[in-house]
Structure 1
Amino acid sequence: MYKDGDMIIDPEYQRYYRWKIEQRSSFIESMILGIPVPSIFVSQDGNGKWDVIDGLQRISTLLQLAGELKNEKPLVLKGTKFLPALKDKNWETLGSNFQRIIKRRRINAIIIDSSNNTSIKYELFQRLNTNGTTLSPQEIRNVVIAMANHELFRETNSLSRNEIFRKITNNITKKQKSEQLDKELIDECYILLTVSAESMNPSDDLQDFITNSLIDNTKLLENLDSNKENMLSVFKLMAKILGENASKAYKNGKYENRFIRPIFEMTFVYTAFHKEKIRDKNELLEQYHKKIVDSSLYKKVTRRGIRPVDRIKNILLAKGDLHVKDANKNS
């Protein structure tokens, strides 16, 4: 099925949680020893083709061992706890007995028919990887977006590595970066440019809100290039005028170093809605940014107990008005 293109293993989202060589060797050991292996989940389209939803590493490990995984060198195993003799073995040197055992092993496949409902595979992937997983919400979203729209997935990765974006978010911590906050911010900026505040439900979970607002966003997906350019133009203005202070709080005459998400969001929204005025008069953005922390809007969106989507809705409704008292009358 894999050789004929009837089973899709997409390397673009596979790489986000690639097994280490020790994990792959351990899996092959389990296959040989007869240790039970979890089922794989696939979605089947109207033509009968499979899109692997859960089980990418198990399938790709077997294919790599057999030397069939595209763009990968054949797998050379490491010695394992119960089979140390696997060290430096590949498929050819594994021996006919072990080869025969692996070829006869059964792995159950749960097939989900997505021919009439393409969104079911995204929902299934999220459910399979939300509970009891070490993946961050953004890592899960990466895969869901890759399955839904490859171009959006690639652009998000590209923008997160952009030097200008990195400059204005240079104070993101290593831990936040390991959880892919940078990519989540890019996804959120797409939403801020293309989703109306009135359509936002303040009680929604942030991660579900971001994912659903991207997958079902016709305004974004049909005009991805122009939205990307719009986003970059906002980042350029922020970088030019505020530089590395763009996501920092200005207090007592100086900038603190800590990354503050609401400040980044408010600055992005203000810049996006007032680009032309700011281009003509750069000090407008600098003055705005220094007033954020003491503003009624900032106090409103950072008050204890406010939900993240409610915060985003308030910021977007205000469009840069720092002293709006009730930016979200409908929330």
Structure 2
Amino acid sequence: MLGAVGLDDTQEAAYRSLVRLGGADVPELARRLALAETSVAAVLRHLEERGLAARPDAAAERWVAAPPGVALGALLTRQRQVLDGAERAAALLADAYRFEAARPAVHDLVEVVTGATAVSHRFLQLQMGAVEELCVLVTGTPVAVTPMENPVEDEAVARGVSYRVVLEREALVLPGQLSELVVGLGRRQEVRLVEKVPTKLVVADRTLAMVPLGDHGSDPAALVIHASGVLDLLMGLFERVWKSALPLQLGGGGKVIEDEPVEPAGPDATDLQILALLLVGMTDASIAKQLRMGLRTVKRRVKGMMNLSGGTTRIQLGWRAYELGWIAGPPRAP
């Protein structure tokens, strides 16, 4: 919590202890923090330099905490001044960059990033710089970034950035992928599934994209593409893949459930299986268990068949199914 004012975990713990205790000597603080006395003495000297701790009597061994409202307030004010200065410098640099990039050369529209560390870092930078939306195509063969190596996603979501992610089916078995999906689907993240995506891709705010370049010698490499016709093509590719993909959700135990995006023109084989079990008196829950699918999917398919048949009740669905030739004979009363 106090890292923003330059304290590490041990220094923060020592300051908090002094605040709670009202004061302590080195041996007492060492016992509470489970540290060596020499380490605690060094920590207290650091707090003293930052104006956060002091000895009321120079000859005494007892240390007390400076009032947090005063001491931390001063540090925070100093930190704000530093950040304000950095923000002004960044704005000036951004203006200079825009001026120089007003008529960019073709080679300035694309940059090559080489090496697993550099590719991973650039991927995180894209997310950190996003303001509105990130569009991502995920393959089942990660090279530089795995599902568990995305520490800035929570921060991006907290800023209001939405994610649209298309996974190829093979990616579901990646280590950590299902746990990431459980968390992601509860945030501003939409996930869809296809058998195969054409390429790995990340597009930030439709202005910056990153695509793999394959191995550059022995290291992975990627292209970072700035706003251009090429980026428009990549965004169009993402939208086509997104439109054809199936929405994905997770049921109990992290089981993947896929929902078709549109209602079919007529009942398919699965619909007819559900209808047959429905007509012999089975409940939706029993049908879902029998066919190993989600209860929500069963209910949606039954509703879809009612809409297709024109029936407003499940009994009417049975008679309409017979009239439309979906079943071989008149349904028996349950």
TM-score by length of 2: 0.27
Relative contact order, CA 8 A, sep 6+: which one is greater?
A: 1
Larger relative helix fraction: 1
Which structure carries more strand by proportion?
Answer: 2
Give me the TM-score of the superposition, normalised by structure 1: 0.27
